[in-house]
Copies of this chain bind each other. A is one copy, B any other.
């Protein structure tokens, strides 16, 4: 059974600790956080610590902290002589200050208050050597049915694409909700459309699924809609309309 220590208490660390604790093939032996109170809820189930120098002896140490802190944190680790991985989409494997290093990137958006079905989350894995790859693959396969070997360059591109289809998409939902709110329309009226739009591209390419005023180059509607928007949202509308027009005109 793979012995694991999680370093960090953010959304990814939280969900990994939960799934590892529920797995029969993973032995989560310790969770570290510099703020011990953020992991106190785990203390009956696993060893917790805020002392980086009292880490237990594991097979894999998983750094699950913010992207910008990985390099510095990795340097602050004692010499572990075991596989050390991070969980970031945009950071290279070389950010880790260890010969035996890797990446375990779960391609999903996490919030603490929403349950996640890990089995269906794509896990992108990478290691600095073959032996560690077998070990990391064993860990990844224990929690997910979708494990992909992805190098740092590809991972950066996946993360970039994810910013478009997740972060930016969610922001468009936010703008849609603001428009509804300002006009006393329940946002729920848009839920079926949002659902259908996201489901459609599972069976049909986004290019074939595209509809709307920009796709049709319907300048009359475009002008009418631009007039109804505040300056910031009009800029988003205009940029995306131009981008669509370039593809279909």
Contacts and interface: CB of A to CB of B under 8 A. Distances in A.
A107 B160 contact: no
Interface stretch (A51-59, A72-80, A109-117): A109-117
Interface in A153-180: 153-154, 156-177, 179-180
Nearest to A228: B160
A200 B111 contact: yes
Contacts of A165: 172-173, 176, 190, 193-194, 197
Nearest to A144: B192
Given A172-B168, A172-B172, A194 B198 contact: yes
A2 B83 CA distance: 70
Interface string A108-135: 1101011010001110100000000000
Q: How large is the interface on A (under 10, 10 to 19, 20 to 34, 35 or more residues)?
A: 35 or more
Interface in A207-226: 207-216, 218, 220-221, 224-225
Contacts of A232: 243, 246
Interface in A221-248: 221, 224-225, 228-229, 232-233, 235-237, 239-240, 242-244, 246-247
Given A176-B164, A177-B206, A218-B68, A201 B158 contact: no
Contacts of A176: 161-162, 164-165, 206
A196 interface: yes
A208 to B, nearest CB: 8
Q: Which of A163, A182, A236 has the most chain B CB within a 10 Å cutoff?
A: A163
Contact of A156 (B156, B169, B228): B228
B68 A193 contact: no
A183 interface: yes
Nearest to A210: B170
Contacts of A204: 111, 113-114
A1 interface: no
A191 interface: yes
Which 8 pairs, one residue from A and one from B, show the smallest C-beta to C-beta distance?
A167-B212, A198-B198, A174-B206, A173-B206, A165-B176, A239-B239, A161-B176, A161-B179
Given A111-B211, A165-B173, A176-B206, 17 more contacts: A67-B221, A90-B213, A108-B192, A109-B196, A146-B189, A154-B183, A157-B180, A157-B228, A163-B213, A164-B172, A165-B190, A165-B193, A170-B210, A174-B210, A195-B198, A195-B202, A239-B240
